[in-house]
Amino acid sequence: MYRLIFLSGAQQGRRVVIRQGPVILGRHPDSVIRLTDEGVALQHALLEERPGGGVSIRCLATDARLIVNRQAVTEVELQDGDQFELGSVKLQFQGHAQPGAPVRMPRGGLQSITIAAVVLMLLGQMAFLVWISAWQYGRDGVVASLPLTPEPASPPPPPAAVTVLAKAPPPPKAPAATLAGAPPGVNHSGGTDTVAREIKLMQQEMGELRQQVASLPKPAAPVTPPPAPAATNPPVAPVPSSPAAESENPVWEQGQRMLQRALAQEAALGPEALDHELEKIQIMAPDFTPPYQERARLFEQRKMPRAALTQWRELQRPTAQRAESERLAALDQPPAPVPAATAPAPALSNDAPLSPPAPARAPAVRIAAVDQQRFMTNEQFDEMRTLRITLAPRPGASAADPAGVKALVTFYDQDRDTGHITPTSAVAPGTALRLNDAATLADQPALTAAYLLPRGFREKETRQHGSRRRYYGYRVQVYYLGVLQDERARPLDLLAPDVKP
């Protein structure tokens, strides 16, 4: 049995006694000790008791650090009094703790300065009270020593004629203007009036978005066009077809099962846990729309109109962007070759001036950060990873239209026997990721990609291909109007030209 003491963070001063079993610390709701502070990973660290005695701590996060006694470590055995840091949270380890034993909290420099300031303030108040008492005593003594001479009584003034007028009734007050739909007794002046109007506008917009979503036509089955007659015209770049039905997408099928399971347990989970489950479905399948509608309904029930409005906007975005996405996809296609008969090469002479080539477009978008998270194994997935890609404008570049930005994310697996690296066959993004309509590059928007291994996927893969594979890394490429802007990879050898995208 041992004790953990929170020295900083949102739970500063808290004491936790651990009696037995492994303990996971992190932001995930299933963690034994949940930490919501900045810089803490979903599963940050694991505390385990060793068979021969003692407690060890091990770092579980791939993109976060574990610091013990001001040194970054991967795994170490803790000694009594050791201090370790998880993000912005600092804790102290005490071995062989007793439940009722007193805890001596270390005193920092800031605490000592605070105590000294309080003592000085109390001394100053006492000195001020003493000075006030002495000054009042001296004033009263001087006044008591002065001779008192009675003033001559002045004759009373003659009574003046008084005219009694009837008091006019006060004018009726004009009724205060009230805001439609606002509760009575609220002062609608100033900031309250502005907030009420903003809430009313958000409610109106949510109502309009509900009607628009309800009136959207359901995706029809794709119609096969008749074969075009043979012609000598140059080939035309293909236009991407409309999205397939949800039943043909394995990621959407998995999202539908997860959604049904979460809604069936809504009463037992509670609002916050249900919202967390719906958010996981959105991360896994960003184009699967039912979780957005359920989160909007949940936020409206919790009196969070701004968050609900965001979900309604996300629900409407894929339909509004379909035409623009098709246009940008066509721009990404290579130009069609021009036959020699229709575009003869001009004859060059020594006297004709040569025009300089057009300058290349300067990059306008960059990758600000790529954050990777790995989730706990559960009954649905053997492995689940997510990438959060943060974009930003390049300094000095002209403003870029967010609608023309797309990101291609490729996950790679490695053969355990041969070391050969190939793009993964697991559930991963099959199309480019794009920003929504409301995004601006100045706000550094983020895109999310997921890498999912359903239960038993690796065993099935081994039986089909005869190779044992494992996760190796990722590669992110960002394009603007079809031109590569920036790319990142982990490990860096995935940026080599011979690696298949």
Q: In what order do the strands lie in the sheet with 55-59?
A: 33-34, 23-26, 45-49, 55-59, 75-78
The whole-angstrom separation of Cα 126 and Cα 122 is 6
- pLDDT tens-digit readout, 124-139: 888 888 888 777 666 5
* Euclidean distance between CA atoms 274 and 294, whole angstroms: 10
Q: Is the pLDDT of residue 365 over 60?
A: yes
What is the DSSP code (8-state) at residue 443? G
Exposure string for 342-359, b = 16+ CB within 10 A, e = fewer: eeeeeeeeeeeeeeeeee
The DSSP line for 320-369 is HTHHHHHHHHHHHSPPPPPPTTTSPPPPP-TTSPPPPPPPPPPP-EEEEE
SS3 label, residue 177: coil
- Judged by average pLDDT, the poorest of 223-237, 289-303, 401-415 is 223-237
Instruction: Bin 87: left if φ > 0, else alpha if -120 < ψ < 50, else beta.
Output: left
Percent of all residues in the chain with a pLDDT value above 90, rounded to a whole number: 21
Is residue 167 within 8 Å of 150, Cβ to Cβ? no
Give the H/E segment covering residue 472. strand 469-480
Neighbouring residues of 368: CB distance < 8 A, sequence distance ≥ 6 = 390, 391, 392, 444
In the predicted model, what is the mean pLDDT of the chain? Answer: 74
Q: 242 pLDDT exceeds 50?
A: no
pLDDT of residue 409: 94
Q: Measure Cα distances from 282 to 181, 295, 370, 407, 432 in Å.
A: 34, 10, 19, 18, 16
Residue 478 pLDDT: 94
Render 45-87 in DSSP notation, one character per residue: EEEEE-TTS-EEEEE--SSS-EEETTEEESEEEE-TT-EEEET
Cα angle: 473, vertex 477, 478; to 5 degrees: 145
DSSP result, 92-153: EEEES--TT----PPP-HHHHHHHHHHHHHHHHHHHHHHHHHHHHHHHHHHHHHSPP-PPPP
Spatial distance between the Cα atoms of 367 and 349, rounded to a whole number of angstroms: 47
Identify residue 9 by its one-letter amino acid code. Answer: G
CA-nearest of 478, 446, 314, 483 to 369 is 446
β-pairing verdict for 33-34 and 23-26: parallel
Strand partners of residue 477: 408, 487
Q: Are 28 and 44 in contact (CB under 8 A)?
A: no
How far apart, in whole angstroms, are the C-alpha atoms of residue 9 and residue 5?
11
Token code pair at residue 367: 């990758």
Q: What pLDDT does 281 receive?
A: 83
Instruction: Give the percent of the chain with pLDDT over 70.
Output: 66
Taking the model in full, what pTM does it have? Answer: 0.37
- Site of tokens 């974009």: 391
pLDDT digits (tens, 9 = 90+) for 10-30: 899 999 998 877 899 998 888
How far is residue 3's CA from residue 80's CA, in Å, rounded to a whole number? 10
Specify the DSSP class assigned to residue 427. Answer: B
Summarised one tens digit per residue, pLDDT across range 416-471 is 888 899 999 888 887 888 888 778 888 889 999 999 989 899 999 899 888 899 99
